[in-house]
A and B are shown apart, each in its own frame.
Chain A
Amino acid sequence: MTDKLMRAERTSGNEEEARSLGLTAQEHHRIVDLLGREPNGVELAVFSLMWSEHCSYKHSRKLLRRLPTEGAHVVMGPGENAGAVDVGDGLCVAFKVESHNHPSAVEPFQGAATGVGGIVRDVFAVGARPIALLDSLRFGELDSSRSRYLFSGAVAGIGHYGNSIGVATVGGEIYFEPAYESNCLVNAMCVGLAPRERLIRSAAAGEGNQLVLLGALTGRDGIGGASVLASAQLDVGDPSKRPSVQIGDPFEEKKLLECSLELLERGLLRSLQDLGAAGLSSSASEMASKGAVGIDLDVARVPLREQGMEAFEIMVSESQERMLCVVEPERLGHVLGVCAHWEVRATTIGEVTGSGRLRVLERGHVVGDMPVTALVDDCPLYDLAPAPPTARVYPDPPRRLPDAGSAADTLLALLASPNIASKRFAYEQYDSIVGSRTVRRPGTADAAVLTLAGDGGSGALAVAIDGNGRRVACDPYTGAIEAVLECARNLACVGAEPLGLTNCLNFGNPEKPHVAWQLERAVDGLAAACRALMVPVVGGNVSLYNESDEGPIYPTPVVGMVGRLADPALAPGIGLREPGHAIALVGPFAPALAGSELERLRGRMADGLAEVDLEAQARAIVALREAVATGGIASAHDISDGGLACALAECVLDGGIGARVELEALAATVGGEEATLFGEGAGGVLVSGPIEALQPLSETGELLWLGEAGGEALELRMGADSLSLSMSQVRAAYERGIPDRFS
């Protein structure tokens, strides 16, 4: 064999080279053992990416086994390009969230755009038509010009890509915290829909079947993205890394999407896989691994964007908008015909073999030959060495608000804080309505609602994405539980039952004991909450090494959920609907100032959060969902950032109707006026509607009548202390919060 490794002999695969590609000396030794010889340059390049954190999950895989993955509705669980759940009527929903943090920190527009492109390909790779996108974004605070640049660039990039391919961006969340100044987070979630029998897996099968590469030309862009960018610490805005960021072409993706779905609809493919991190190396190995077969591919047959690319470059290029499929030889002509119709490039680059090896050829000469199991299964998995931090990890945030201040001033300051203020600046840059499914648009309900009526389904989907890194930083276990509960509560507010969950775990360097501790505690929290709610995890993504010289990011598990509801016309928005409607609080509600947005504005970071009664919260979520689904509830909004007062302000603003509420009784049970108004914690939903429609909630759980909708002002009374603000004051603070940071 070695005598055939012609060109590759000229490039070295020794230990020094391995270290420069991000592998450890031990990992290099293991590769030598597995191959029975030293790898050549091509092989080392492939191994370095397949064994990178990004592709192998070597620091997180063991931990992820703690998450529950089974449920009644699960059709495809973790391990496929995207997870899928059954939504009835013969339809399945495939969905996944993925990070594109490091590319976005280097070049926000293309980084975020290609993040969208990548997750969309994951979803149509399983045969589902992408119908919705959501984004979870984190930046430094907006008084930093770099954060303004990253934020506006990432939002524009998400819009550019999603809008251009005709997939509605229906929801998301954005936070600004100093801990993300050097490492912004860009997590994108895609939701797709498919008839159940149309779902396809990526396992290659059938010796002699052809391996066909679809889509864009292969260039030098994104080389080493998974190892250089995604699996190592990043220096602030390092411009030398910019060539590692891929460039997106949404038009190519749109053609590829329509072409792939037509190929599947016609039953022409045996398997399909997108090319993501590590390009051909990863796609071919994954397909071969899942099918327990081998693959031969010839890099000289790969259509190139530039001349003179080396074999290893072709194998690891992360050029966007490419898919790999397995086609039976007799169907090849038909496949090429469909591709020609869509003006999508299609090239046979290899075939399925029975060898169990990934063989890389160059004009017929073998330049790399590796056992597939070595690439996919034999990467060493590391045990974390978690230890709670011995000193504070995060400094107090800068103080922006004095402790003393009237409740009215505090509320206005909170509403104007970019973490709470209207995200209109972002979501108006996204097409949220293409596809004619969007029943609740961004900013108008706690979860986006998408009708399935045009797809032959009954009812609708509800989708939401949530996470709060600061609270997880205060308490990784409880913070992670809160993220899952908030997402489920958002679904319950529109009457939806959660069917499955996807998550993106954004953390710092897991080789540091306190980061490992954050990761382990957060995963345990996610697992506990998923079990309590009986929601399976069907897929996800881990992004580690999000840290800089100033330390790690806040540990940020982001949770996306898909649920189903029977009648979208009944789904409440957040806005009050009619004067005279009663306003009530659905508990359990036990807010505290620790870890809240108010404490952040006052420059304080908490150590620990109040424990959550998971069982009681899960029961309350079910009761709320059932009450909403029976109809009559006019509005529902969960209490989260900024507490009850901010939530009520949002109900008032979206409805255009004032509110008058009496909180003295509540304050007595909560034990503090500020905690009542602005405290945060798991639980608490504001509902409004006719009294008789809300009444059933008092029979199944905790319901406290607060007041009624009406007038033109927001009035909160608490004994002698009362707060009254006009609609226009409240609106100005909320709407100007983000735009004013740019002027």
Chain B
Amino acid sequence: MKFGVVRFPGSCDEHDALLACRRFADAELLWHGERDLKGVDAVVIPGGFSYGDYLRVGAIARFSPVMEAVGEWAAAGGPVLGICNGFQVLCEAGLLPGALLVNAELRFLCRQVDVEVVNAETPFTSTCDPGERLSVPVKHTTGRYFAPELELDELERSGQVVLRYLPGQNPNGSRRDIAGVTNRAGNVLGLMPHPEHAVDALTGSTDGARIFESLASLTPA
């Protein structure tokens, strides 16, 4: 089992993600300018400010060569995890429903929050119990999840809402406290909280490790 962690110019959390993946499997970096996914079994798009987040968050990164390959990989059912900026890129690329808007308080926010595992039957949450609470940090300016009401109803019905901020802990004004959603097929997850920053008790929490552990337990394709 091998993870590939995408590195754009402006990525910030790629080494953190790499370290988190390596706790459970092999992992290597994938350069934004290359289409080759190097035979990895799961792709992680990490946090940061790809291309400076200029124009609009994630808007430039979606056009990079590596994202073409990621799109094909996702269409073929390959697992893709987008964290924070990675979530924004996946929304811009049309691989995930909805959009991420500037936080309700219009400021960057770095804070530990609790999220509830709403759907434990995804490749990303298979080692979690349904309803389990995970303590993970958020850190972003643009994390307010938005989709039209009808689409939100549909996302909930089809089990695409995977993670939800606990009541009172929604840090950004996301609709229905949504912290993470998948695509319809369930093989692409985007989440604003940073599981890669919650894999070591020394630095705060180990709850985020469950996401990487779940992915690592997949049988390689």
Contact = CB atoms under 8 A, between A and B. Distances in A.
Interface of A: 156, 159-160, 163-166, 249-252, 254-255, 258, 342-343, 427-439, 441, 451, 453-454, 568-569
B35 interface: no
Interface in B43-59: 48-49, 51-54
B110 A429 contact: yes
Interface stretch (B10-18, B67-75, B157-165): B10-18
Contacts of B54: 251
Nearest to B106: A156
B24 to A, nearest CB: 15
A164 B13 contact: no
Contact of B49 (A250, A437, A568): A250
Nearest to A167: B12
Interface string B88-111: 000000000000000000011111
Contacts of A156: 107-108
Interface residues of B, number: 28
Nearest to A165: B12
14 contacts: A159-B108, A164-B12, A250-B52, A251-B52, A251-B54, A254-B52, A255-B10, A343-B9, A431-B108, A431-B139, A436-B15, A437-B203, A451-B202, A451-B203
A439 B203 contact: yes
B137 interface: yes
B19 interface: yes
B109 A435 contact: no
B210 interface: no
A439 B202 CA distance: 6
Contact of B10 (A251, A433, A451): A251
B132 interface: no
Given A254-B10, A454-B19, A568-B202, A431 B110 contact: yes
Nearest to B199: A436
Which DSSP category, helix, strand, loop or mixed, fits chain B's interface?
Answer: mixed
Interface string B185-202: 000000000101100101
B52 A433 contact: no
Given A166-B13, A250-B49, A431-B110, 12 more contacts: A164-B49, A251-B9, A254-B12, A428-B109, A430-B110, A431-B12, A431-B139, A433-B110, A433-B197, A433-B203, A436-B16, A451-B203
Interface of B: 9-13, 15-16, 19, 48-49, 51-54, 107-111, 137, 139, 194, 196-197, 200, 202-204
Nearest to B200: A436
Contacts of A569: 202
A429 B108 contact: yes
Contacts of A434: 12-13, 16, 139, 197
B111 A436 contact: no
A164, A427, A454 interface centre (most CB from chain B within 10 Å): A164
A436 B197 contact: yes
Contacts, number: 89
A163 B108 contact: yes
Q: 9 smallest A-B Cβ distances: which pairs?
A: A251-B52, A166-B12, A436-B16, A164-B49, A429-B108, A431-B139, A159-B108, A433-B197, A251-B10
A411 to B, nearest CB: 27
Nearest to A442: B110
A433 B202 CA distance: 12
A342 B9 CA distance: 7
A234 B138 CA distance: 40
Contacts of A163: 12, 49, 108, 139
A687 B151 CA distance: 54
A636 to B, nearest CB: 18
B144 to A, nearest CB: 16
Contact of B111 (A428, A439, A568): A428
Given A164-B10, A254-B10, A451-B202, A435 B16 contact: yes
Contacts of A451: 202-203
B105 to A, nearest CB: 10
Contacts of A428: 107-111
Nearest to B112: A441
B123 to A, nearest CB: 24
Contacts of A160: 108
A249 B139 CA distance: 20
Nearest to A454: B19
Contacts of B196: 436
A252 B52 CA distance: 8
A163 B109 CA distance: 11
A250 B9 CA distance: 11
A437 B197 CA distance: 10
Contact of B203 (A166, A252, A427, A438): A438
Nearest to B7: A258
B109 A436 contact: no
Contacts of B9: 251, 254-255, 258, 342-343
Contacts of A439: 202-203
A427 B139 CA distance: 11
A433 B13 CA distance: 10
A249 B52 contact: yes
Contacts of B13: 166, 434
B143 to A, nearest CB: 13
Contacts of A252: 52
A430 B109 CA distance: 7
A433 B204 contact: yes
Contacts of A164: 10, 12, 49, 52-53
A256 to B, nearest CB: 11
B203 A251 contact: no
A252 B200 CA distance: 32
Nearest to A249: B52
Contacts of A437: 203
Nearest to A571: B202
B48 to A, nearest CB: 6
A254 B54 CA distance: 14
Nearest to B52: A251
A433 B108 CA distance: 14
Contacts of A436: 15-16, 19, 196-197, 200, 203
Nearest to A427: B110
A451 B19 CA distance: 14
Contacts of A433: 110, 137, 139, 194, 197, 203-204
Nearest to B49: A164
A156 B107 CA distance: 8
A190 to B, nearest CB: 16
A453 B202 CA distance: 11
A120 to B, nearest CB: 13
Contacts of A429: 107-110
Nearest to B141: A163
B49, B51, B203 interface centre (most CB from chain A within 10 Å): B203
Nearest to A342: B9
Contacts of A251: 9-10, 49, 51-54
Nearest to B194: A433
